[in-house]
Amino acid sequence: MFSPTSRLAAKRLHGIRRMFLQSPSVSAAAAAAETSRSYSTALNYHIDSPDNNPNMKWEFSANNLEKVKEILSHYPSNYKQSGVIPLLDLAQQQHGGWLPVSAMNEIARIIEVAPIRVYEVATFYSMFNRTKVGKYHLLVCGTTPCMISGSRDIENALLKHLGVKRNEVTKDGLFSIGEMECMGCCVNAPMIAIADYSNGSEGYSYNYYEDVTPKRVIEIVEMLRKGQSPPVGTQNPNRTRGGPEGGNTTLLGEPKPPPCRDLDAC
Amino acid sequence: MSFLRALRRVHPLIRANFSNSRVTSRWISSTPDLHNPEAAAAAVPEPEFRPRTPVGGARIEIQNPDDSVEVFVDGYPVKLPKGMTVMQACELAGVDIPRFCYHSRLSIAGNCRMCLVEVEKSPKPVASCAMPVAPGMKIKTDTPIAKKAREGVMEFLLMNHPLDCPICDQGGECDLQDQSMVFGSDRGRFTEMKRSVVDKNLGPLVKTVMTRCIQCTRCVRFASEVAGVQDLGMLGRGSGEEIGTYVEKLMTSELSGNVIDICPVGALTSKPFAFKARNWELKGTESIDVTDAVGSNIRIDSRGPEVMRILPRLNEDINEEWISDKTRFCYDGLKRQRLNDPMIRDHDGKFKPVTWRDALAIVAEVAHGVNPDEIVGIAGQLSDAESMIALKDFLNRMGSNNVMCEGNGLNPQADIRSSFLLNSNIAGLENADLFLIVGSQPRVEAPLVNARIQKTVRATQAKVAYIGPPANFNYDHEHIGTGPQTLLDIAEGRHPFCSAILSAKKPAIIVGAGLFGRKDKDAIVAAVETISKLGGVTRPGWNGLNYLLLNAAQASALDLGLVSSPDVIRSAKFVYLMGADDANLDDLPKDAFVLYQGHHGDRGVYRANVIFPSSAFSEKEGTYENTEGCAQWTIPAVPTVGDSRDDWKIVRALSEVAGVRLPYDSLMAVRARLSRVAPNLLNVDARERSTISEELRPEFKQKLSMAPFGAAVENFYMTDSITRSSKIMAQCSSTLLKK
Ligand code: SF4
Ligand code: FES
Ligand code: FES
């Protein structure tokens, strides 16, 4: 059907694109990108499975029902739907880090909206997981500052160490790895956040581990596996919080007050 | 030379006629004219801005001049009320702004960015659909910035679009295709992989090719705002965004077909119409829908002798720009089960085709062989006014006055028009602030009336109370009872609803025509009228006491006086069924002769002895009066099938053979006759205000029975002979109505 020349041209074009994709500096990124481009843990539509279907009953625990009441008290009674995000978060903590469709239906019932309005929110935010995650859900920041500082290597190290793909749970159910957008911690890039769902919503924590290296993240994972709690924040012993390595170099004295206009003079 | 003089004489006149349009600049005058000093002096220097024609006939009413602002669109001044948008200003100035997500009947989303225009002093282009006008705004729609913005948006939209126009059903009427021709660039720079999206199953009517979706969210807004079903949503985000229902779910709305029209691309198209025709091959005929009593305005698209699809036509007073799924998809019923030839039932019970001459002769002979008061005529629910008047005249000439129309029940009230019409009009329902729905399920009986109520409830939080069997509503309502007892309680002031109706400013009562068949109909109507008096439902300037009819023929039948009671059937010997398929013939004596005249081999033919084939609504010119009493005309879109004829012509022919010739030979003549019986039927598109005169109501001697109200429509998708023959409607009933 096609003339040989056009086939040749198409082949060349393909070759050129391959070449770009395989240039060494971006090869890791491209490989990661090819495994999965999706930042969310699930597809944008629901497929029934034995542990995730609308017929499953799902309820907030008694403790959490109190919290639900507390959350809803923040909003006027005719704007209950504003509570959708905190409620989804609470449900996710209660349900081991992910939201089955029946949990979303229950929230829709509580805030009196159609279920689809809750699905829309839950699918929009990549922090809501709609498939199973590990007890520790590791989120690697993939946005530019972290990426430049090597977040791809960190993700690859983690994936290799745990022997999983992105958004896949390890056999023992302990870990899963996801990607996230900038978490506002770029000053200590690269960073990962670890959501700890091992103890329900009571023991839930969500911590940042900053200035990580491929070696360090594996140490962190191993500590978690042993039940220890690695120190949160920057992992660089020479830094305090967002401060520079080796102590402050600027702003050493009292800062000068800003020059103020004499308002009375005008 | 005399010609030139004549030209000169008419010239100023023509100028005056055209001075409003662009033609002025195109006027070519002959040279002698230019040398004419008079004409030269008369030529006025052109004003700087000629008045422009607003896009799509847009017009505004400035009610409060203080609240209006003046803006400039490409230098042309426009005045419009505060709060209107830049896009509306542009439309008034005659500038059509490209758009995808904006739809005048839906809320503003502002997410496609196709409508970007430049506004002076604004640092970047603004989305005109979402930006309110500010005084003195200088809007520029044809500057390089605006052009570049559009081109950029277009490039982004096409980035992930499959560009599969050759195999896309929207091709030729696709906004994306048209606008990319005008505003787009001739090549893209996107060399990555395109995204693809899983298709969703929305049921038997709407086909989805979700990869084509441009995320305008019109369908989502339509579903939740107009159709009132919250099924569709925008899932995911960024390039992963997709339209869907998340969980596997069909779109269970009786208006779902409208998403096909509002989807600007080919993501949502008609499933039955898929790959059947290209839109430029179709001939459009502007007609009227007859599948319910609303009388939606439609366009019948046909190719040759075949109706290919039905689309809505804009009519603000009736259907806005929506139609129900039954209206849109019943057309395949027009091709199935049609009666082609006159037929006579043999001794062995089989129908055998005969010529018109023989058929007419036999029927005339039988008709003359029975007593005149044993002749009964029943008009079907799809009958037009012309055929009904012909039927009535024919039977009258035969000496019988037993003519009725199915669905109008016992003892129909035809003298007072307000006792069977939707008196507040469909559009008028939007003014109501309280609805009492009695024995009617508007969602299945008249989806577009229901859409109005839904719109009103959504816009003004109007309260809806409902008396009847448990029913499906797509807005908040209070189910206050199931039968006449509740009506009595309200009428006697015992019900909590009384206080609501007393405090309402414009209460509306909607009584379903399904109740017309009840034995205690008059008593129910009396109870409703008491409530209406009590609650001030009818008052000067507002008549909120409405009857919602079920089928297209009912209103004109009552206007024409087809009002005999169905009881006459017990003693009938000759029954003329004019398309009447739902008439109850159980009481008919076994030896009665039944003539069925209709277009479909539907229920009516089971009992028929002779069949006369007639033409369907898509094949004839007919007058239909809708439930508000507004007469409208159908226009033939396709030729009739086989040997069938228009109903009134058949009656006319039969009358001649029977020796009681009806005095009309043309449609005009029938309409002249109509104008004598019911002049309003010739007043097309007009609604005549009916008087409220309860004193004229005849006495009734019925007792209110306590039996609860029933549902008038069991299967929304199959209510008449056309929809019952339609395969698509059958699919809908089996997939969408299953519990
Ligand atoms: S399916 Fe059509 S109407 Fe719905 S968002 Fe996509 S393009 Fe818009
Ligand atoms: S880019 Fe990683 S935290 Fe901001
Ligand atoms: S039409 Fe204005 S943003 Fe879509």
The answer to whether the CB of B360 is under 6 A from ligand 3 is no
> Which domain range does residue A163 map to?
136-234
How many contacts (CB atoms, under 8 Å) link A and B?
A: 55
The answer to whether the CB of B129 is under 6 A from ligand 3 is yes
Does A119 reside within a domain?
yes
Cα–Cα distances (Å) from A72 to A78, A119, A145, B191, B505, in that order, read: 11, 19, 37, 48, 35
Measured in Å, residue A181 CA sits from the centre of ligand 2 at 7
Spatial distance between the Cα atoms of B564 and B575, rounded to a whole number of angstroms: 14
Q: Which residue has the higher pLDDT, B419 or B72?
A: B72
Measured in Å, residue A31 CA sits from the centre of ligand 2 at 21
Measured in Å, residue B230 CA sits from the centre of ligand 2 at 37
Tell me the nearest-neighbour CA distance from A47 into chain B, angstroms: 7
A74 shares its domain with A162 = no
Average predicted confidence (pLDDT) for chain A: 86
CATH number at A120 reads 1.10.10.1590
Across the interface, of A40, A116, A117, the residue whose CB is closest to B236 is A40
Spatial distance between the Cα atoms of B490 and B500, rounded to a whole number of angstroms: 11
We find that the CATH architecture of domain B165-270 is 2-Layer Sandwich (3.30)
CATH number at A200 reads 3.40.30.10
Q: pLDDT confidence of A127, banded at 50, 70, 90? A: confident
A159 shares its domain with A76 = no
Domain boundaries, chain B: 2-43, 55-159, 165-270, 343-407+574-682, 417-553+706-725
Does A1 reside within a domain?
no
The answer to whether the CB of B114 is under 6 A from ligand 1 is no
Interface check B190 vs A, CB under 8 A: no
A112 shares its domain with A146 = no
In this structure, are strands B343-345 and B610-613 parallel, antiparallel, or unpaired?
antiparallel
Does A27 reside within a domain?
no
A68 shares its domain with A93 = yes
Beta bridge partners of B613: B598
Mean pLDDT of B295-303: 96
Query: Contact, B94 vs B143, CB < 8 A?
Result: no
Tell me the nearest-neighbour CA distance from B245 into chain A, angstroms: 7
Does A198 reside within a domain?
yes
A156 shares its domain with A71 = no
Poorest-pLDDT segment among A104-113, B21-30, B209-218: B21-30
Interface check B192 vs A, CB under 8 A: no
A85 shares its domain with A109 = yes
Tell me the nearest-neighbour CA distance from B152 into chain A, angstroms: 24
ipTM exceeds 0.90: no
Spatial distance between the Cα atoms of B132 and B439, rounded to a whole number of angstroms: 44
The pLDDT tens digits of the residues spanning A196-214 come to: 999 888 889 999 999 999 9
The pLDDT tens digits of the residues spanning B380-439 come to: 999 999 999 999 999 999 999 999 998 888 777 778 888 899 999 999 999 999 999 999
Interface check A181 vs B, CB under 8 A: no
A157 shares its domain with A109 = no
Q: What's the pTM value of the predicted model, to 2 decimals? A: 0.87
Residue ranges of A 37-96 with Cβ closer than 8 A to chain B: 38, 40, 43-46, 48, 54
Measured in Å, residue B62 CA sits from the centre of ligand 1 at 34
- Measured over the CA atoms of residue A154, residue A160, residue A166 and residue A168, the dihedral's sign is negative
Q: Give the chain A residue whose CA is nearest to the CA of B197.
A: A44
Put simply, the answer to whether B198 touches A45 (Cβ < 8 Å) is: yes
Token pair listed for A198: 């091992």
We find that the CATH architecture of domain B417-553+706-725 is 3-Layer(aba) Sandwich (3.40)
Tell me the nearest-neighbour CA distance from A194 into chain B, angstroms: 23
A70 shares its domain with A106 = yes
In this structure, are strands B610-613 and B233-235 parallel, antiparallel, or unpaired?
unpaired
Tell me the nearest-neighbour CA distance from B223 into chain A, angstroms: 12
Mean pLDDT of B237-265: 91
Q: Closest ligand 3 atom to the C-alpha of B113?
A: 3
Measured in Å, residue B263 CA sits from the centre of ligand 1 at 5
Spatial distance between the Cα atoms of A158 and B92, rounded to a whole number of angstroms: 61
Instruction: List chain A residues with CB under 8 Å of B231.
Output: 114, 116
Does A75 reside within a domain?
yes
**Which pLDDT value is given to residue A110?**
96
Q: Is B74 left (phi over 0), alpha (psi -120 to 50) or beta?
A: left
Instruction: List chain B residues with CB under 8 Å of A40.
Output: 236, 240
A175 shares its domain with A210 = yes
A117 shares its domain with A172 = no
Mean pLDDT of B572-586: 92
Residue ranges of B 230-269 with Cβ closer than 8 A to chain A: 230-237, 240-242, 244-248
- SS3 letters across chain A: CCCHHHHHHHHHHHHHHHHHHHCHHHHHHHHHHHHCCCCCCCCCCCCCECCECCCCCCCCCHHHHHHHHHHHCCCCHHHHHHHHHHHHHHHHHHCCCCCCHHHHHHHHHHHCCCHHHHHHHHHHCCCCCCCCCCCEEEEEECCHHHHHCCHHHHHHHHHHHHCCCCCCECCCCCEEEEEECCCCCHHHCCEEEEEECCCCCCCCEEEEEECCCHHHHHHHHHHHHCCCCCCCEECCCCCCCCCCCCCCCCCCCCCCCCCCCCHHHC
The pLDDT tens digits of the residues spanning A134-146 come to: 999 999 999 999 9
Task: Please name the residues in contact with B161: beta carbons below 8 A apart, sequence gap of 6 or more.
Answer: B176, B194, B211, B212, B214, B265
Which of the residues A53, A123, A127, A179 would you substitute to probe the B interface, choosing the one with the greatest number of B C-beta atoms within 10 Å?
Answer: A123
Measured in Å, residue B395 CA sits from the centre of ligand 1 at 55
Measured in Å, residue B288 CA sits from the centre of ligand 3 at 33
Query: Contact, B151 vs B124, CB < 8 A?
Result: no
Does A254 reside within a domain?
no
Put simply, the answer to whether A17 touches B237 (Cβ < 8 Å) is: no
Interface check B191 vs A, CB under 8 A: yes
Across the interface, of B237, B241, B246, the residue whose CB is closest to A46 is B246
A140 shares its domain with A214 = yes
Q: pLDDT confidence of A17, banded at 50, 70, 90? A: low
Instruction: List chain B residues with CB under 8 Å of A48.
Output: 248
Q: pLDDT confidence of B39, banded at 50, 70, 90? A: low
Query: Contact, B350 vs B609, CB < 8 A?
Result: no
In this structure, are strands B463-467 and B434-438 parallel, antiparallel, or unpaired?
parallel
Does 3.40.50.740 match the CATH number of domain B343-407+574-682?
A: yes
Mean pLDDT of B74-86: 92
Measured in Å, residue A39 CA sits from the centre of ligand 2 at 15
Spatial distance between the Cα atoms of B580 and B602, rounded to a whole number of angstroms: 9
Question: Tokens 């007050």 correspond to what residue?
Answer: A257
A215 shares its domain with A144 = yes
Ligand 1 test: best mutation among B113, B214, B256, B258, most atoms within 8 Å of CB? B214
> Counting ligands in written order, which one lies closest to the CA of residue A242?
2
Domains B55-159 and B165-270 share a fold: no
What residues are in contact with ligand 2 under a 6 Å CB criterion? A 141, 143, 145-146, 182-186, 189, 191
Q: pLDDT confidence of B59, banded at 50, 70, 90? A: confident
DSSP state of B226: I
Token pair listed for B702: 């019925």
Instruction: List chain B residues with CB under 8 Å of A115.
Output: 246-247
Across the interface, of B231, B241, B244, the residue whose CB is closest to A45 is B244
Q: Count how many domains chain A has.
A: 2
**Which pLDDT value is given to residue A25?**
43
> Counting ligands in written order, which one lies closest to the CA of residue A191?
2
We find that the CATH architecture of domain B55-159 is Roll (3.10)
